[in-house]
Amino acid sequence: MMPPHAAGAALEARNVGFSYAALELKDICLSLAPGTITGIVGPNGSGKTTLLRLLDGILAPASGQVLLNGSVPLSALSRREIARRIAMVPQNGGGSPFHTVFQFAMQGRTPHLPRLGFETAADEAVVREALEMTRLGDYLHARVAEISGGEKQRLLLARALAQQPEILLLDEFTANLDINFQVELMRLIRQLTRERRLATAAVSHEINLLAAFCDRIVLMKEGRIRRQGSVAEVLTRDNLRKLFGLDFLVRPLPSGVPEVLPVMDESGQS
């Protein structure tokens, strides 16, 4: 069954299948709506990162289609065309540590530059704006190796924003960061998603972080989408127990957002 908000979706996976090695994705139906954040949760090896790569056109579906605006298959577009519409923010973005912050973020303009051309003053303005939005405007000339882990994550986001995308895909974007950095980044993502009408998807193991900031949640296991919908209707004790094989306490916070805690037995095991 198609997700209920598929109409007007910025990006849609329609009955997508893909397989390699021991992983098979099958019958993936998912849509990302403008101005919303969709969180993707699941055990290791469930296919979450593979799904993001399919949504970004890095991998081609063996069956089904990934569609822009409900009608344009990613398979009909070049990588440059896709990169003008979709930006992926990885957990580790690579790049030379000797690049300056400005040079690193400028990589996001590559899809918009002439093949043998150079960046213009307009491109530089876009990059400066992206760095200001991610609070890196004071670090233009700093080397990537000189900034902190949290600042590097913001820099990956700035590079993605410099692409001026319509769709933003985040893969374990807050992994290995202190909670204050995690919250700071997710607040920024939510603000940008709302203001720019981005269609955002975020893969993370931080269930409570996604619960606090996402509009929708997708549960994945063994290459299948098991549940998807609003945060409150998806993050239930029964759904999470089936997903992870553990018992959970799920209780509503005063804001109405569910808080998820593993239940520990007397031996300290969950």
Any idea where the domains of the chain sit in the sequence? 1-85+165-239, 97-160
Range from 49-53, 117-121, 249-253 carrying the lowest mean pLDDT: 117-121
Question: Other C-beta atoms within 10 Å of 262: how many?
Answer: 13
Residue 266, pLDDT > 70, answer no
DSSP per-residue string spanning 57-97: TSS--SEEEEEETTTEEGGGS-HHHHHTTEEEE-SS----T
Query: What confidence score (pLDDT) does residue 269 get?
Result: 58
- Model pLDDT for residues 148-177, shown as the tens digit of each residue: 888 888 999 999 999 999 999 999 988 878
pTM: 0.92
Position 116, amino acid: L
CATH architecture assignment, domain 1-85+165-239: 3-Layer(aba) Sandwich (3.40)
State the chain's mean pLDDT as an integer: 91
% of the chain surpassing 70 pLDDT: 94
Confidence of residue 7 (pLDDT cuts 50, 70, 90): low
Query: What confidence score (pLDDT) does residue 267 get?
Result: 54
177 Cβ contact list (under 8 Å, min separation 6): 149, 150, 153, 185
Residue 268, pLDDT > 70, answer no
Q: Cβ(220)–Cβ(42) under 8 Å?
A: yes
Query: What confidence score (pLDDT) does residue 270 get?
Result: 54
Q: Cβ(108)–Cβ(162) under 8 Å?
A: yes
Query: What confidence score (pLDDT) does residue 4 get?
Result: 44
- Model pLDDT for residues 185-223, shown as the tens digit of each residue: 899 999 999 999 999 999 999 999 999 999 999 999 999
- Model pLDDT for residues 53-77, shown as the tens digit of each residue: 999 999 999 999 999 998 999 999 9
State how far the Cα of 231 lies from the Cα of 239, in Å rounded to an integer: 12
